[in-house]
Amino acid sequence: MLGGEEGLTIVICGDTPLVSEETLQGLIRLHQEKGAAATILTAEVDAPFGYGRIIRDDRGFVAKIVEEKDCSEEQRLVKEVNTGTYCFDNKKLFEALAQVKNDNAQSEYYLTDVIGILTSQGGIVEGYVMKEAIESIGVNDRLALSEAEQAMRARINRRHMLNGVTLIDPASTYIEADVVIGSDTVIYPGTVLKGATAIGEDCIIGPQADITDSKLADGVTVKHSVLQEAVVGSGTSVGPYAYLRPGADLGQNVKIGDFVEIKNAKLGDDVKVSHLSYIGDAVVGRNVNFGRGSITVNYDGFNKQITEVEDDAFVGKQRQSDCSGQNRQRRVCGGRIDHHPQRGGQ
């Protein structure tokens, strides 16, 4: 049984998502330093209405928690409140729980009654005041959820800025918790970075970039574009209005221009797909240029095939003189590459 174990027990509300690791470490540290039977995580708020007040004794220890409806006029002026998070000596907690009664109007058992039981037995009950009261916010409706999300975004953005990332307008930038961004990268307004996205140093991201679960090397530029599960090599530029779908793997110094879609395709270094093209299910060598309207077609009605384009090829519409003689050996004209395995393919 857990009640017989030595050690500490942390009790934390499931609807308080902003409580940080740093705050919990501070709570535990104070609890251990004071040899307390219990330590309450508290917050000082300007408008404490509705919260249980922390009443301290002459020594500064917590004497009791008084709920709003039971407060005297003097107690209502107290701004230190109970956040609902506690650190207990495990054995003392379970001994006190056995004494908790439900003789109240709601016929409910209140964990806060444990505090009074411990103090009546001479135990020390401490209160650790969190540095940022916003951490105590409980999410009970959509309004509180939006407030908690705003606070979390501000926390994440602050961490990145302290690490050397420039956010032109933090309020209009959405970055999820697991995103990694290198120093000296600039994030423009309207950018959304989600999932396991990792961005290198000296990049320019945005405006209006939507990037999910993608890996971007140093010196990458992405403007007005969507990237999903894509890999982008150093010095590569994407956009505006490009779409990198899952499996897009771009080498170094690649140019992906406006209204270009890349799906499940590996592009070598120095490839240019400047505009109005679709490159799907392909392997493209180095220094290949795709002209306007280029499409790699890979579906034969039954199976998807891989299109291969070798180094230094020129794909797309060119002058007629460019599509004759020796040039025909290195260039594909007309902007469409069909792979037909039964005929050897392209």
Active site residue 31: no
Out of 224, 275, 339, 340, pick the active-site residue.
275
329-336 CB contacts, 8 Å cutoff, 24+ apart:
335/277, 335/291, 335/292, 335/293, 335/294, 335/295, 336/294, 336/295, 336/297
What amino acid positions are annotated as catalytic residues? 275
